[in-house]
């Protein structure tokens, strides 16, 4: 019998976490498995702004030319100017174009949006592995580069900070910006070694598309040259030549953006707290923070981003005022953040000066380069922080974790390194799986995150609004009333946090209206209108409350004068409301003012000409004043429409 031949593992195979041929299938399978529980989710959060209520996206493929011709919020507001409620502008036509294509192909089923988010995310994880391995292979060799690339992509795939990006369809822009940026990076690396115009064209095209997905991709204009500088021994002129396709694409993008939405890198700062968190209370109003007041907030934000990159707990979609309170330089969290940020900046600068081309120095620069645009330093982005903004910077954190794992291997051996990776991986994976259900729909998201972001006016307001909406669907009247009471508690907290929050006053009015507490509803609508006298929803809803309060005075309390007084208040805003005109006709008829009753019954008849009871009431009114001809006409018409009328 022939002896079995024992095949010795190569150094690479014994060192790697698994055979190299298994890495990509493992990464793809893990990415898909972790987020399978999002495929049944509904639309949530800003999906309305970019998909379900975006008129251009809802046109499907036919809307793509208009999508590329406007700011990304235009299709939602459909009004010039309102699409730029926050500074900086939003021009992301590629992402909205993808949503428009999906609309044409699959309709309004959120399953497909979630599925494509997951597929693009999986592709991003795989491409990240390829880019890291391609970047590190020449300087560090196949063995170490395989370990670092595998571990980096593995940690990235399971990192809980990515749940918002994958589970929220709107955040496709983050995925596409990173995916296409990575594609541009690997193309530039290939072009560096084999200069060919086709590869250069691929690099430039990928980078342009990344920019059209989301502005944050501009970070690659610094990151890709840094990759070459740190991990390739080459001259500055070669780096510049290799990056030239990116520069040309950026200039083309800039010209396109300016021609469509303007440069818009600042300008007048929003003065609504929910669009600019860097406002401070002054008496009964707000004012913009001075640079010295804003600085500790910015430093804290950077420190918080660094913390969440490694310790992503607890997670929430909402970092609006005042979940992040107003910090000063005396706060210990700000001091700790300042020490951390300054220390890392000094570390990066020192590394550059000493030509220390190490992974930690590269990752430090990568992190700050990719977080800078969303750090609120250039302009307020509308919120203090956002977990989705860590999608690209987290690459640096994942590479640092991989490097730390490698050092464990070198010091303590492979088993210790693998155990460490498994522990981190298990913790991250469990949190990712546990977090995903929060994104099921708006109601689940808001009622979950309001517990974490209890001091956020925005999530309090959103929770209140969702509870009001859900109360209409509740068949149990007791439970429906409890939901309205709970909504009022959240909305009351929202206006305590943000006393000038007009939408919260509107929703408070709505909650009281549905409780049939019309006078309190009117008071809340008045508070909203005191902040914005042209607030259409508040004007309309207050008028409806006056109408229904008048009905109560007339039908339940028998106070005709108070009924008419409330009806008359509502009339300028509800002139074409059938019910209001009918009620006015009834009220004036009961008061004995038949001419006025006829006037309003006729107006109601114009609005609903086929309503039998209006013709019947007109018949009675005309009989009262002795006009039998008209009375007979309307009585006959009433019987034609409804033989049972008047019985």
Q: For residue 611, give the CATH number of its domain.
A: 1.25.40.10
In a domain, 399, yes or no: yes
Q: Do 630 and 484 share a structural domain?
A: no
In a shared domain, residues 365 and 427: yes
Whether residue 379 is predicted with pLDDT greater than 70 in this model: the reply is yes
**Contacts within 8 Å (CB) and 24+ apart, 418-425:** 418/17, 421/17, 421/151, 421/154, 421/155, 424/155, 425/154, 425/155, 425/158
| pLDDT in the model for residue 86 | 54
Helices 536-555 and 560-570 meet at what angle, rounded to 10?
Answer: 160
125 occurs within a structural domain: yes
Average pLDDT, the chain: 93
At 488, the pLDDT band (50, 70, 90 cuts) reads very high
Domain that holds residue 378: 29-280+287-435
Q: What are the distances in angstroms from CA 222 to CA 243, 265, 362? A: 9, 19, 11
Please report whether residue 78 resides in a domain: yes
Pull the structure tokens for residue 524.
């809340």
**What is the spatial distance between Cα 190 and Cα 182, in angstroms, rounded to a whole number?**
12
Residue 222 pLDDT greater than 80, yes or no? yes
Residues 166 and 64 in one domain: yes
| In contact, 39 and 66? CB cutoff 8 Å | no
Region 333-350: what's the mean pLDDT? 97
pLDDT tier at 318, thresholds 50, 70, 90? very high
Same domain flag for 632 and 565: no
The vertex-166 CA angle with 147 and 73, nearest 5°, equals 130
What is the rounded average pLDDT of the residues 295-303?
Answer: 97
Asked if 521 contacts 491 with a C-beta cutoff of 8 angstroms, the reply is no
| Domain endpoint, select from 435, 470, 490 | 435
Token digits of residue 578:
């059938």
Identify the domain boundary among 540, 574, 608: 574
Q: Are residues 97 and 211 in the same domain?
A: yes
Contact 341, 49 (CB under 8 A): no
Identify the band that residue 5 occupies on the pLDDT scale cut at 50, 70 and 90.
very low
Give 32's pLDDT tier (boundaries 50, 70, 90): very high
Per-residue confidence at 464, pLDDT binned at 50, 70, 90? very high
In this prediction, residue 57 carries a pLDDT of 97
Number of CB atoms found within 10 A of residue 592's CB: 10
SS3 488: helix
Are residue 231 and residue 100 in the same domain, yes or no?
A: yes
Residue-level pLDDT at 7: 44
Whether residues 261 and 132 fall in one domain = yes
| Assigned domain for 361 exists | yes
Tens of pLDDT, residues 44-87: 999 999 999 999 999 999 999 999 999 999 999 876 555 455 55
DSSP 453: S
Specify whether 91 is located in the same domain as 127. Answer: yes
Residue 547 CA to residue 570 CA, distance in Å, equals 6
Contact 272/286 with Cβ under 8 angstroms? no
Which single residue is written with the structure tokens 């063995």?
143
| Residue at which a domain ends, from 520, 547, 574 | 574
Rg, C-alpha atoms of the chain: 31
Together in a domain, 377 and 526: no
Residue 602 above 90 pLDDT? yes
Q: Is residue 11 part of a domain?
A: no
pLDDT at residue 457 above 80?
yes
Q: Is the pLDDT of residue 15 over 90?
A: no
Quote the CA–CA distance of 429 and 436 in Å, as a whole number. Answer: 11
From residue 355, alpha-carbon distances to 33, 145, 148, 368 in Å are: 42, 21, 22, 19
Half-sphere exposure of 255 (CA within 13 A, CB side): 5
Distances (CA, A) of 298 to 317, 329, 385, 620: 19, 11, 10, 72
Q: Kindly tell me the burial class for residue 413, based on how many C-beta atoms sit within 10 Å of its own C-beta (0-12, 13-18, 19 or more).
A: exposed
Same domain for 556 and 596? no
4 domain residue, yes or no: no
Pick from 431, 477, 389: which is nearest to 173 by CA? 389
Do 625 and 553 lie in one domain? The reply is no
Query: For position 88, what pLDDT does the model report?
Result: 54
Cα 604 from Cα 597, distance rounded (Å)? 11
CA 308, 314, 319, 323 torsion-angle sign? negative
281: phi then psi, degrees, rounded to nearest 5: -70, 135
pLDDT in tens, 527-568: 999 999 999 999 999 999 999 999 999 999 999 999 999 999
Cβ–Cβ contacts within 10 Å for residue 597, how many?
24
The end-to-end CA distance of the chain, in Å, is 107
In a domain, 448, yes or no: no
The pLDDT of residue 265 is 55
Token code pair at residue 632: 């007979």
Determine the pLDDT at residue 647: 75
Span 417-443, pLDDT tens digits: 999 999 999 999 999 999 999 999 999
Q: Do 560 and 607 fall into the same domain?
A: no
Backbone angles phi, psi at 287, to 5 degrees: -140, 160
Cα 10 to Cα 89: distance, rounded to the nearest angstrom: 53
Name the nearest CA neighbour of 371 among 350, 351, 395: 395
- Hey, what are 549's tokens? 């309060």
Residue of 366, 335, 336, 374 whose CA lies nearest to 348: 366
Contacting residues for 458 by C-beta, under 8 A, at least 6 apart: 274, 318, 320, 321, 494
CA distance 620 to 256: 68
Question: Cβ(178)–Cβ(331) under 8 Å?
Answer: no
**By percentage, how much of the chain surpasses pLDDT 90?**
87
Provide the 10 A C-beta neighbour count for residue 292. Answer: 9
Structure tokens at 589: 């008829």
Q: What is the mean pLDDT of residues 486-505?
A: 97
Question: Could you count the other beta carbons within 10 Å of the beta carbon of residue 469?
Answer: 14
The 10s digit of each residue's pLDDT in 181-204 is: 999 999 999 999 888 999 999 999
Structural domains of the chain, count: 3
For the segment 468-488, the average pLDDT, to the nearest whole number, is 96
Strand ranges inside 202-266, DSSP E: none
In the three-class reduction of DSSP (H, G, I as helix; E, B as strand; rest coil), residue 134 is classed as helix
Residue that has been written with the tokens 């019987």 in this structure: 639
Average pLDDT over residues 204-222: 97
Distance between CA 130 and CA 73 in Å, rounded?
Answer: 35
Question: Is residue 446 in a domain?
Answer: no
Q: Angle CA(14)–CA(15)–CA(18) in degrees, nearest 5?
A: 75
């Amino acid at each position: 019998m022939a002896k079995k031949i024992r095949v010795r593992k190569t150094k690479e195979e014994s060192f790697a976490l698994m055979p190299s041929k298994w890495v990509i299938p493992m990464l793809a399978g893990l990415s898909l498995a972790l987020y399978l529980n999002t495929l049944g989710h509904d639309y949530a959060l800003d999906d309305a702004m970019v998909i379900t209520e975006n008129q251009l996206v809802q046109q499907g493929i036919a809307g793509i030319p208009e999508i590329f011709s406007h700011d990304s919020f235009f299709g939602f507001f459909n009004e010039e100017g309102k699409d730029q409620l926050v500074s900086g502008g939003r021009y992301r036509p590629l992402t909205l174009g993808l949503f428009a294509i999906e609309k044409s192909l699959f309709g309004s089923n959120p399953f497909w949006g979630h599925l494509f988010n997951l597929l693009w995310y999986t592709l991003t994880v795989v491409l990240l592995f390829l880019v890291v391995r391609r970047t590190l292979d020449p300087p560090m060799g196949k063995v170490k580069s395989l370990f670092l690339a595998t571990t980096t992509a593995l940690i990235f795939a399971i990192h809980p900070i990515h749940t918002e990006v994958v589970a929220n369809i709107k955040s496709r822009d983050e995925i596409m910006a990173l995916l296409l940026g990575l594609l541009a990076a690997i193309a530039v690396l290939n072009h560096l070694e084999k200069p060919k115009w086709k590869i250069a064209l691929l690099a430039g095209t990928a980078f342009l598309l990344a920019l059209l997905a989301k502005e944050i991709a501009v970070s690659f204009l610094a990151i890709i040259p840094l990759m070459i500088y740190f991990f390739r021994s080459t001259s500055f002129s070669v780096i510049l030549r290799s990056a030239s396709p990116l520069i040309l694409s950026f200039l083309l993008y800039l010209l396109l953006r300016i021609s469509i939405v303007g440069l818009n890198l600042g300008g007048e700062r929003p003065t609504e707290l929910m669009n600019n968190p860097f406002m401070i209370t002054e008496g009964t109003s707000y004012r913009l923070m001075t640079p010295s007041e804003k600085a500790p907030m910015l430093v804290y934000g950077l420190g918080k981003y660094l913390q969440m990159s490694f310790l992503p707990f607890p997670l929430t979609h909402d970092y609006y005022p005042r979940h992040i309170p107003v910090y000063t330089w005396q706060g210990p969290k700000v001091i700790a953040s300042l020490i951390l940020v300054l220390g890392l900046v000094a570390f990066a600068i020192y590394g550059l000066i000493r030509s220390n081309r190490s992974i930690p120095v590269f990752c430090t620069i990568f992190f700050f380069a990719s977080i800078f645009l969303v750090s609120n330093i250039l302009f307020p982005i509308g919120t203090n922080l956002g977990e989705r903004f860590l999608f690209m910077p987290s690459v640096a954190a994942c590479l640092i974790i991989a490097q730390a794992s490698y050092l464990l291997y070198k010091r303590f051996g492979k088993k210790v390194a693998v155990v460490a990776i498994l522990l981190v991986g298990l913790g991250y994976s469990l949190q990712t799986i546990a977090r995903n259900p929060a994104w099921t729909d708006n109601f689940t998201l808001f009622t979950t995150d309001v517990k974490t972001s209890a001091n956020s006016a925005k999530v309090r307001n959103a929770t209140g609004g969702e509870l009001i909406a859900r109360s209409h669907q509740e068949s149990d009247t007791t439970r429906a009333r409890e939901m309205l009471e709970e909504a009022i508690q959240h909305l009351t907290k929202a206006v305590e946090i943000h006393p000038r929050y007009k939408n919260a006053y509107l929703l408070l009015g709505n909650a009281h209206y549905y409780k049939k507490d019309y006078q309190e509803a009117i008071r809340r609508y008045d508070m909203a209108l005191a902040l914005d006298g042209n607030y259409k929803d508040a004007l309309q809803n207050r008028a409806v409350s006056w109408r229904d309060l008048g009905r109560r005075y007339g039908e339940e309390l028998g106070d005709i004068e108070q009924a008419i007084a409330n009806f008359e208040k509502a009339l300028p805003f509800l002139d074409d409301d059938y019910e209001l005109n009918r009620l006015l006709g009834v009220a004036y008829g009961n008061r004995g003012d038949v001419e006025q009753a006829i006037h309003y019954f006729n107006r109601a008849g114009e609005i609903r000409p086929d309503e039998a009871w209006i013709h019947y009431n007109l018949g009675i009114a005309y009989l009262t004043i002795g006009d039998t001809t008209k009375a007979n006409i309307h009585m006959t018409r009433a019987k034609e429409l409804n033989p049972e009328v008047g019985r």
